Chain A
Amino acid sequence: MAESAFPINSFGARAAALQSAGRRILGRPGASALAIGALACALAGAALVAIAAWRSAPFEAPSWMQAEALVLATGAEGEVDLAALRGALRAALPQPAAAVGFEFVGRDTALRDLAQRRGLAGTGLADLRPNPLPDGFRVRFAPGTPPEQIDAAVGALRRVRGVDAVEFDAQLVRRAALLVALCGRVAMLAGVLLAATLLLAAFVAATVWSRAADDELFVLHLLGAEPAAMVRPAAYAAGLGVLCAALLAWGFVVVLAGAMDPLAAEFARQYGLHWEPLALPPWTPVPLCLALAGAGALAASLGLRATLRRRLARLAGALRR
């Protein structure tokens, strides 16, 4: 016998509705896997877009986008009082609040940093022995600090006694800021479009489902079924489906974010920026996926109820004729 849109022999009770929702998903494994996979891809795309938009916000000065200058001390190892130099550097800044970090950089790290920043990695510079560079400091500027202020600060740092050189390219930082602002806006636009598409797809799915179940809907209405009981199995199925898709999507996001993080770090390094990978607590997916499942069930329930009202009114009209 052909399958009905309604699991008619488990009507009313929540547990029975949940069971029938599970049966509905497992009863058509191919179609369910396809739908869940497609939804997981859409959710993963939405999550990546949301993460990109979040990390780019505010577009003018994302919190992670801190311009970074490498200050190299004069003299060989042990000849410079690094604590005194740190104090001198702080004191030299025209606006001390603009600098949010003074991080000590050992000479080996400084050499590796320099080689990578100038695109000289692989040329043998990083392996140069003995390392000619002195120790130094990495000075980070607050996000959104105007480039002129950074230029002025870098100039002041260069003039500090005990400083050999300051490595900083203001043009690169400006270009990176523009690029990040552009990417953030594109991500936000894409996110809005994706969300609208998902909502539209949910609405179309509810409409198609209710059209396929016209007869069942009317018979259930006739027999005194409450709208809540009529939509419950479908809403639970939607919730379960979204939960599976959300868990799968989380897996996609972890894998993709893991693959993209080194690229983002490299981008930041190349442009003289400080990059911090996104660190979320390990339990993050649990409430997120449950919230998504709840939202899916709620959306399905509301959509189906709205569609149900329209369909029943139309069916009653058809009955009159």
Chain B
Amino acid sequence: MPTIEPQLAQANFHGPVLALEQVEQRYGAFRPVFGALDLSVARGEFLAIGGPPGSGKSVLLRLLAGLELPSGGAIRIAGEDLARMRPRARAQLRRSIGILPPGHRLLDRHSVLDNVALAAWVAGATRDDGLRRAQAALALVGLDLARSAGQPCGRLSWCQRHGVALARALVNRPALLLLDDLLDPLDDEDAQRLLQVLDRFAEAGVTVVATERAAAAAGPPPTAAARPARAWPRRVRRLRLRDGRLEDPAPGRPGQASGPPPDEGAAGLPLA
């Protein structure tokens, strides 16, 4: 049985895995989402970005995944400017990234196993290897293989779909995980278990960027203290996206939004 436990990849790039330089995104002249974002995320860092619905968290993740290009500024992944990459190179890059998209984007007519294995097949795995890796990924996120592996995804609950989409994000042992609304549909126990899994990935050198939804109303930012049952691992760096700006809800802690990453230069991103 193969494992998709995180593997510490060889360091072949020294610098932030993710770097946003004055990134702007606007849809038409009157629909600015955010402007002049600066951010640096190091290898093995676990970053959680919170914010109310509509604040641009999902847009930011789509930009990081290369699914959209920013209106201004530069997004660098392992030093490569996404906007300067050819579409084919961006497609290849996405195979090294595990993406949990909003709405999960599963193929409802296909089985759970096929949905997860598809990511491996796209990345060049053989049929059998893809299926074995899919089984391992599903086991890792806690889905009951015996019951659900052969089921069409259209018959799953929202929570189960979340698990399948997450397993699909993990199946290629990605160097970078981009997870939208990571904990939203999960109960506290599942959320806790999932965070532990992701924390293990981060410890092994996988960079994790997750978003979490917070109440739209003005109020205290979502912190670990506000949700004790969903305590993020201690090493998670938390930022808040509000009014088009990234803010640190707990200033003074290490890992400022625009500051240098804590372990910059320590490791690299295996994009090969």
Q: A11-B121, A222-B67, A223-B118 given. 11 additional CB < 8 A pairs?
A: A1-B152, A9-B118, A9-B130, A10-B127, A219-B105, A219-B106, A222-B101, A224-B91, A225-B91, A226-B91, A316-B68
**Complex contact A224–B62 (CB within 8 A):** no
The docked-state distance in angstroms from the alpha carbon of A247 to that of B152 is: 40
The docked-state distance in angstroms from the alpha carbon of A216 to that of B109 is: 10
Which residues of chain A from 161 to 189 have a CB within 8 Å of any chain B CB? none
Question: For the complex, is A85 an interface residue (Cβ under 8 Å from B)?
Answer: no
Question: For the complex, is A275 an interface residue (Cβ under 8 Å from B)?
Answer: no
Q: Which 3 pairs between the two chains have the least Cβ-Cβ distance? A: A224-B94, A224-B95, A11-B121
Question: For the complex, is B111 an interface residue (Cβ under 8 Å from A)?
Answer: yes
B contact face: mostly helix, strand, loop, or mixed: mixed
Interface digits, A290-321 against B, CB 8 Å rule (1 contact, 0 not)?
A: 00000000000000000000000000100110
Complex contacts, A219 vs chain B, CB 8 Å: 105-107, 118
Contacts A9-B127, A319-B62: A225 and B110 contacting too (C-beta < 8 A)? no
Q: What are 6 A-B pairs with beta-carbon distances under 8 A?
A: A4-B107, A8-B121, A10-B121, A215-B107, A219-B106, A221-B91
**Complex contact A11–B122 (CB within 8 A):** yes
Chain A residue nearest to B109 in the complex (CB): A2
**Complex contact A12–B124 (CB within 8 A):** yes
> A148 → chain B, closest Cβ, in Å?
67
> B52 → chain A, closest Cβ, in Å?
17
Question: For the complex, is B182 an interface residue (Cβ under 8 Å from A)?
Answer: no
Contacts A4-B110, A9-B114, A216-B107: A224 and B123 contacting too (C-beta < 8 A)? yes
Which residues of chain B from 62 to 115 have a CB within 8 Å of any chain A CB? 62, 65, 67-68, 87-88, 91-97, 99, 101-103, 105-111, 114
Question: For the complex, is A220 an interface residue (Cβ under 8 Å from B)?
Answer: yes
Complex contacts, A2 vs chain B, CB 8 Å: 109
Question: For the complex, is A203 an interface residue (Cβ under 8 Å from B)?
Answer: no
The docked-state distance in angstroms from the alpha carbon of A9 to that of B117 is: 8
Question: For the complex, is A218 an interface residue (Cβ under 8 Å from B)?
Answer: yes
**Complex contact B105–A222 (CB within 8 A):** yes
**Complex contact B107–A8 (CB within 8 A):** yes
Chain A residue nearest to B94 in the complex (CB): A224
The docked-state distance in angstroms from the alpha carbon of A269 to that of B5 is: 85
Complex contacts, B107 vs chain A, CB 8 Å: 4, 8, 215-216, 219
**Complex contact B118–A11 (CB within 8 A):** yes
The docked-state distance in angstroms from the alpha carbon of A241 to that of B105 is: 31
Partner of B105, one of A8, A11, A215, A227: A215
Which residues of chain A from 70 to 89 have a CB within 8 Å of any chain B CB? none
The docked-state distance in angstroms from the alpha carbon of A250 to that of B88 is: 40
The docked-state distance in angstroms from the alpha carbon of A218 to that of B62 is: 13
Question: For the complex, is B59 an interface residue (Cβ under 8 Å from A)?
Answer: yes
The docked-state distance in angstroms from the alpha carbon of A225 to that of B59 is: 21
The docked-state distance in angstroms from the alpha carbon of A216 to that of B117 is: 14
The docked-state distance in angstroms from the alpha carbon of A316 to that of B63 is: 12
Question: For the complex, is B27 an interface residue (Cβ under 8 Å from A)?
Answer: yes
Q: Which of A8, A216, A316 has the most CB of B within 10 A?
A: A8
The docked-state distance in angstroms from the alpha carbon of A227 to that of B65 is: 17
Interface digits, A208-236 against B, CB 8 Å rule (1 contact, 0 not)?
A: 00000001101111111111010000000
The docked-state distance in angstroms from the alpha carbon of A220 to that of B101 is: 13
Give the contact-size bracket for chain B: 35 or more
Complex contacts, B109 vs chain A, CB 8 Å: 1-4
Which residues of chain B from 226 to 242 have a CB within 8 Å of any chain A CB? none
Complex contacts, A229 vs chain B, CB 8 Å: 122
Which residues of chain A from 229 to 281 have a CB within 8 Å of any chain B CB? 229
Complex contacts, A9 vs chain B, CB 8 Å: 114, 117-118, 121, 127, 130
Question: For the complex, is B4 an interface residue (Cβ under 8 Å from A)?
Answer: no
Partner of A222, one of B27, B88, B94: B94
Q: Which of A3, A12, A225, A316 has the most CB of B within 10 A?
A: A225
> A6 → chain B, closest Cβ, in Å?
8
**Complex contact B118–A8 (CB within 8 A):** yes
**Complex contact B111–A1 (CB within 8 A):** yes
The docked-state distance in angstroms from the alpha carbon of A224 to that of B96 is: 9
The docked-state distance in angstroms from the alpha carbon of A319 to that of B119 is: 20
**Complex contact B59–A12 (CB within 8 A):** no
The docked-state distance in angstroms from the alpha carbon of A10 to that of B131 is: 12
The docked-state distance in angstroms from the alpha carbon of A2 to that of B109 is: 6
Complex contacts, B105 vs chain A, CB 8 Å: 215, 218-219, 222
> B86 → chain A, closest Cβ, in Å?
11
Complex contacts, A222 vs chain B, CB 8 Å: 65, 67, 94, 99, 101, 105
The docked-state distance in angstroms from the alpha carbon of A229 to that of B124 is: 11
**Complex contact B108–A225 (CB within 8 A):** no
> A292 → chain B, closest Cβ, in Å?
29
The docked-state distance in angstroms from the alpha carbon of A222 to that of B102 is: 12
Which residues of chain B from 164 to 185 have a CB within 8 Å of any chain A CB? 168
The docked-state distance in angstroms from the alpha carbon of A10 to that of B101 is: 24
**Complex contact A12–B122 (CB within 8 A):** yes
**Complex contact B114–A226 (CB within 8 A):** no
Chain A residue nearest to B130 in the complex (CB): A9
**Complex contact B119–A223 (CB within 8 A):** yes
Chain B residue nearest to A8 in the complex (CB): B118
Complex contacts, A221 vs chain B, CB 8 Å: 67, 91
Interface digits, A194-210 against B, CB 8 Å rule (1 contact, 0 not)?
A: 00000000000000000
Chain A residue nearest to B113 in the complex (CB): A9
> A216 → chain B, closest Cβ, in Å?
6
**Complex contact A215–B94 (CB within 8 A):** no
> A317 → chain B, closest Cβ, in Å?
9
